Amino acid sequence: MYKRSYGSSKAIRPETFRETALRTGRAVVVGHGIVGHQVVYELFSAGRRASRPIEILWVADRHDRRIASFGASGCHMPFLNRDPRAAEWARRSFQRWDMLYELGFGDLLGHAETVFLTREDRVELPPGHPGTARMAAPADFSPFYHRAAVLDSGSVVSACALMPRLFRAVSDLPGVTALPRHLSDIGDLLTMTVEFGAELACVAAGDRAQFLLGERRIEGDFGALLLIDLHKVPEPFDRMVLMDQDREHELTYSVPHRACGHVCLGGVSGRLVTEPEEYEELARGLDDPARVPRYVVDAIHEIRDRVLERLPVFGPALAAGDYLSWYGLRPAAERAIAEWVPWSRTGNLGVLHLGGLGGSGFTLTPAFVTDGMNIRRPTQGIETHFESHLGRPTPAHSS
C-alpha cells in the first residue's frame, strides 16, 4: 500500500483528495449540484479545522433548475436501491447532514413519515431502513391499494428552496470562487487546473460526466414531476410521503416540499439520454414550454393520470392549468462511482470523479462524499491493494 522512495527508508503514503488539497492549499471542484456543494463544503471545513485555508475554484456551467439537484423531489431515505453500500451511505447520511445545519438550512430538511402502498401480496420495505414500520389500513390513504406500511423515519429536503440559497452560502465561504464556465472535455479541465495552480480537481458533473470525462458508465435517466399547491392538499398528505410499491408503478409518489409550498408528484424513469442533441432538445423545452419534446408531454400526462387513479386525494389540485411541471435527468449508473481517473488520462494531476448517484443524490451525498474524499490516489506505476474506486468499503461490506 505504501510506496518506498528510492535512497530513503521513508514510506510515502498515497494521499487522499483532502490531504493533497490541504498540503497544496488549492483545488478545483466541478459541479454546482448537491455533490459539488458537499465537496466544496468538506474542503472548506477541512481547511478551517487544520487552520490551513484551501483556495477552491468551483466551476460549473449551470446552477439552476436545468440540473437535477435544483428540481429533485429530495426525499431522503425511502428511495433506496438494493446495493448494501448505498443503504449504508443512506443510513449514515440520514443521521447527520452537517453542511445543512452548520450553514443554517436545517429547517429545509424536515422529518416525514413515508407510506408504502401496494396491490401486491406484501409490502417491500427499503433495505437498511433504520426506523420501524407498522402495517396500516390502506383505505386511510387511497381506495386503490390493498396494503400499506408506514415507516416512522425518513425526511424531505425542500430541494427547490434549498439549492439557490445553499449555492449563495457556499459561494460566499472564504476561499471559494464560483465560476460559471462550460468545460468541453478532460483536457479543458486539466488546463484550467494547471492555470489555477492546483494539483487536483474533483468532478461532480452529474449525468453529464458522460461527456466531460467520456464516462460511458453514466447516462441521463429522464424523470418528471408535477408540482401542486401544498395548500390544496388536505392533512396529513401535506406532510407525509406516499409511494406506490407496485412493481410497474414504483415511481408514482408524492413528496411534500413544505418550505417551497408545493407537493411533488412523480415520476417516470427508464428513458436514457446519451446524445448531445437530445440534451439540446430537453434544454430548449425548459426555456420555452412550446418546445417541450413530445415524450415529455406524454410523461407528464401519464403521471397525472396515474395519480388521479391511485392517489385521488390530490385530484382537486390537479385541475388543468393549476399545476406546474419540471423534468430533469438522474445521473444513472449501475453503481455509484467514486474513483480516481487513471493516471494515463490525467498526467501529473489528480482527478477524482464522484457521481452516478441516480435517483438518490439527496439520500446518499453526505456519507458518499466523505468516503469518496478519503480514497487514496493509487501511486503511479505501483500496484495497490486498496480500493481506488467505488469508495472505501463501508461497514456493510467490511464487516
Ligand X SMILES: Cc1cc2nc3c(=O)[nH]c(=O)nc-3n(C[C@H](O)[C@H](O)[C@H](O)COP(=O)(O)OP(=O)(O)OC[C@H]3O[C@@H](n4cnc5c(N)ncnc54)[C@H](O)[C@@H]3O)c2cc1C
Query: Does the protein bind ligand X through residue 254 (CB under 6 A)?
Result: no
Nearer Cβ to ligand X, position 21 or 67? 67
User: Counting contacts by CB under 6 A, is residue 350 touching ligand X?
Assistant: no
Cis peptide bond N-terminal to 53, omega within 30: no
CA-CA distance, 195 to 179, in Å (whole number)? 14
Does 89 interact with ligand X (rule: CB under 6 A)?
A: no
Name every residue whose Cβ is closer than 8 Å to that of residue 227 and which is 6 or more positions away in sequence.
Answer: 262, 263, 264, 265, 323, 324, 325, 326
Side chain identity, residue 236: P
Q: Which stretch binds ligand X (CB under 6 A): 58-66, 129-137, 285-293, 370-378?
A: 58-66
3-state secondary structure of 92: helix
Which parts of 87-244 are beta strand (E)? Answer: 109-111, 114-118, 133-136, 147-151, 155-157, 176-180, 200-203, 219-229, 241-244
Q: How far is Cα 373 from Cα 376, in angstroms, rounded to an integer?
A: 8
Strands 200-203, 350-355: pairing kind? parallel
The answer to the question of residue 61 lying near ligand X (CB under 6 A) is yes
Is 359 a binder of ligand X (CB under 6 A)?
A: yes
Residue number with CB closer to ligand X (141 or 368) = 368
Closer CB to ligand X, residue 148 or residue 336?
336
Least distance from C-beta 287 to ligand X, angstroms? Answer: 15
Q: Kindly tell me which of 118 and 363 has the beta carbon lying closer to ligand X.
A: 363
Question: Among 22, 35, 200, 265, which residue interacts with ligand X (rule: CB under 6 A)?
Answer: 35
Q: With binding defined as CB under 6 A, does residue 158 bind ligand X?
A: no
HSE-up of residue 92 (Cα within 13 Å, Cβ side): 16
User: Cα–Cα distances in Å, from 226 out to 205, 294, 311?
Assistant: 25, 16, 13
Binding characters for ligand X, 196-235, by CB under 6 A (x = yes): --------xxxxx---x----------x-x----------
Contact call for residue 57 and ligand X (CB under 6 A): no
If one asks whether residue 62 binds ligand X (CB under 6 A), the answer comes out as yes
Q: Which is nearer to ligand X, 149 or 255 (CB)?
A: 255
Is 182 a binder of ligand X (CB under 6 A)? yes
Q: Name 10's Cβ contacts closer than 8 Å, sequence gap at least 6.
A: none
Footprint of ligand X (CB under 6 A): 30-36, 59-63, 67-69, 72-75, 79, 182-183, 204-208, 212, 223, 225, 255, 266-267, 328-331, 355, 357-363
